[in-house]
Structure 1
Amino acid sequence: MGDKQKTPDWAAETGAWVLENGHRALLKLTGGRWPHKLGFMPTLELHTIGRKSGERRSSLLSSPIFTPERIVVIASLGGASHHPAWYLNLVANPNVEITVRGETKPYIARTASTQEKAELWPEITRGFGNPYAGYQRSTARDIPVVICEPV
């Protein structure tokens, strides 16, 4: 974990917004056919229930660990000083849905324990161009690792 916040929140939030909305636009333009990966990571749409609104919320994310038994997502928000809204929503209500290539399935989401994060972190951060280690270095907060398991 970094000593202080190195990335201004406006920069982290803007980068995350551009990435998500650019991805969403490409999916719309291609009829959902492209892109299904961000670098080497599969992409997915996470559906949560808003903790304040009670309405369904959707976020496009990448998954550094993606298996039939679990999908792992990282609540990085580009290294911002605060957690993304989708993470706060799933902490309040861990019943989520995940859509991959047009197929939506229910999952239970939970924050990885400190030990689980330590075990998963090398796999999460490997690979050329992987941003997560840099995000963690750039923020004073401990970036949560979220494990989603099928219902």
Structure 2
Amino acid sequence: MASPPRPLSPKQIESLNSAKVGTAIKWMSKANTWLFKKSGGRLGNKFLRGAEVGILTTIGRKSGEARDSPLLFLQEGRRIVLVASQGGRATNPMWYLNLRANPQITFQTKRETLQLVARDATDAERDEYWPKLDAMYPDFQNYRSYTDRKIPIVICDPA
């Protein structure tokens, strides 16, 4: 049975949503992406508790430039499932806004690079995937408790 979410105090929630934390996430993501790409996925491919990391490439909705984001993922055959949690922050991550504007994405695992089309999970799919995602990375349950937003689950299928 899953343990109950770890609550955060209002001050911790405020800190989580601060510009400093946003900047830290941005720079850690850049470093992880660099390490992953330089090593061909041999380094930077795992996160806490052994959760697998891959690199999502979207097209910037304003810039039109390729944007890379290291993300935890669940793979089922050729399908990749992503969570736009951003650690439970109050806003959706930029990568999510980019793929909403242009759902044609690339996802690189340590084994392969996939050309995919992204979409939001239906309510039935959300019910199916949350238990699988929580089993893969239990902190997702905490992240959902930190925010009032409905954290998107993104289904990415072959193009």
Q: TM-score normalised by the shorter chain: which range applies? A: 0.7 to 0.9
Q: Which residue of 2 aligns with 1:138?
A: 146
Contact 2:61-2:97 at 8 Å conserved across structures: yes
Pick aligned residue for 1:75 from 66, 81, 84:
84
Identical aligned pairs, as a percentage?
36
Q: Which residue of 1 aligns with 2:3?
A: none
Give ranges in structure 1 of 5+ residues lacking alignment: none
Counting helix residues as a fraction of each chain, which structure ranks higher? 2
Alignment RMSD: 2.4
4+ residue stretches of structure 1 with deviation over 6 A?
A: none
Deviates more, 1:49-58 or 1:34-43: 34-43
Q: Which residue of 2 aligns with 1:57?
A: 67
Contact 1:94-1:109 at 8 Å conserved across structures: yes
Superposed counterparts of 1:1-151, under 5 Å: 7-8=13-14, 9-10=17-18, 13-14=22-23, 16-17=25-26, 19-24=28-33, 26-27=35-36, 30=39, 32-38=41-47, 39-63=49-73, 65-101=74-110, 103-126=112-135, 130-151=138-159
Aligned residues: 146
Q: Deviations over 1:52-97 (max 9, x none)?
A: 111111111111x212231111001111111001001111111001
Does 1 or 2 have the higher relative contact order (CA < 8 Å, sep 6+)?
Answer: 1
1:97 alignment partner AA: T
Deviates more, 1:76-85 or 1:14-23: 14-23
Contact 1:125-1:133 at 8 Å conserved across structures: yes
Deviates more, 1:6-15 or 1:75-84: 6-15
TM-score by length of 2: 0.79
Residue 125 of structure 1 and its aligned partner are, at CA, apart by: 0.8
TM-score by length of 1: 0.82
Residue 104 of structure 1 and its aligned partner are, at CA, apart by: 2.3
